[in-house]
Amino acid sequence: MTEPMILDVAEWSRFEIHVDGRLAGFAQYKVEPGTIRFVHTEVDSMYEGQGLGGKLARFALDAARTRGLAVYPDCPFIRGWIEKHPDYVDLVPVEARPLYSM
């Protein structure tokens, strides 16, 4: 397996991860002024267990940080990933953290 390629496909409001030229997964989002709301993340069953979801989450959250966007992790996968990586909790607004058990 070659190194995955991750893209922000803004016209479809999702980050995509590709392996060997094939779509392996995506993280769907909604952008609102000053915020990004992650609503759904999916990795194809053929690629599960390879850490692609984590790479996708890290890339998407790093992009949000670079753009100065507050993150609302409505997607259970993104929310769980942030809980396991506390260096990303600061992206979630303080008033929203109790909603996400952070």
DSSP code string of 18-33: EETTEEEEEEEEEEET
pTM for this structure? 0.92
Average pLDDT score over residue span 62-77: 97
Strands 70-73 and 35-43: parallel
pLDDT higher than 60, residue 73: yes
Start-to-end C-alpha separation, the chain = 35
For the cut 70, the answer to whether the pLDDT of residue 101 exceeds it is no
The three-class DSSP label of residue 37 is strand
Segment 16-65, tens digit of pLDDT:
999 999 999 999 999 999 999 999 999 999 999 999 999 999 999 999 99
pLDDT of residue 82: 95
